[in-house]
Structure 1
Amino acid sequence: MNSDLTEEEMRRALFGTPQPEEQVPAPLVTEPVEEVVLAKSVVAPTVNKKAAKAFRPRLRVTLRVGNEFEGKMTELIHEADTLSSLLAEQEAVKAARKKYKYVDVVSVKSM
């Protein structure tokens, strides 16, 4: 192999011959721009339409919570906006721990 190739010859070998791009000069337009000022903006009457709600994945986490060890437990339902049952469970337990000392996850169901 010949190692005495110039940079330009190497470029031609790798990428082929460059196609000349046609350069069209842009016409210079120096027309004065008229300033348009609206006297009063026109506002279309708004119609109260309920937008279609996009699908949001939701999971319902059912917890049994209480403040006494082996005492009275109440059922708490937490709704999480996620598809991951693990994240929904963690989010529900974290929210329940703010108010209750003992938290037990009963179920995680999709809505």
Structure 2
Amino acid sequence: MNADLTEEEMRRALFGEAQQEVQVSAPPVQEPAPEVVFTKPIATPAAKKKTAKAFTPRLRVTLRVTLRVTLRVGNEFEGKMIELVHDADTLSSLLAEQEAVKEARKKYKYVEVVSVKSM
């Protein structure tokens, strides 16, 4: 294969023989543009109608779920345990349990979850 091809030969090899375009070298004649005067349009006092907005139904749901978490807590290992009840306003029982354990750990060392019930 010959590596010394010209650009024109490469174009013919890729795209085939193309019809030669007739090139006109005459400069385009520019005609003088007519003078344009801009004026403000006169505002007519027409009654403008406001477009009606599309009705979008919206619902607001307010839920208040209180979960009651019962814990057994104490400061001695295998010692006396006290039952502690924690009320959490959340929909998630996992979050309610974590919140109750976090609060109980502030005062007690050993915490055991007994139950999580919805009220």
Q: 2:101 aligns with which of 93, 99, 102?
A: 93
Give me the whole-angstrom Cα distance separating, in 1, the residues matched to 2:102 and 2:45: 66
Task: After TM superposition, list the pairs within 5 Å mapping 1:55-94 onto structure 2.
Answer: 55-94=63-102
**TM-score with structure 1 setting the length:** 0.52
| Aligned residue type for 2:113 | V
Supply the RMSD in Å over aligned alpha carbons: 2.2
Larger Rg: 2
Identity value in percent: 82
Give me the whole-angstrom Cα distance separating, in 2, the residues matched to 1:105 and 1:94: 12
| Aligned residue type for 2:95 | L
- Structure 1 stretches of 5 or more lacking a match? 1-22, 27-53
Alignment coverage as a number of residue pairs: 63
Aligned to 1:107: 115
Give me the whole-angstrom Cα distance separating, in 2, the residues matched to 1:60 and 1:97: 17
Q: In structure 2, do the counterparts of structure 1 residues 98 and 24 end up closer, same or farther at CA, with 3 Å as the change threshold? A: farther
Give me the whole-angstrom Cα distance separating, in 2, the residues matched to 1:72 and 1:98: 18
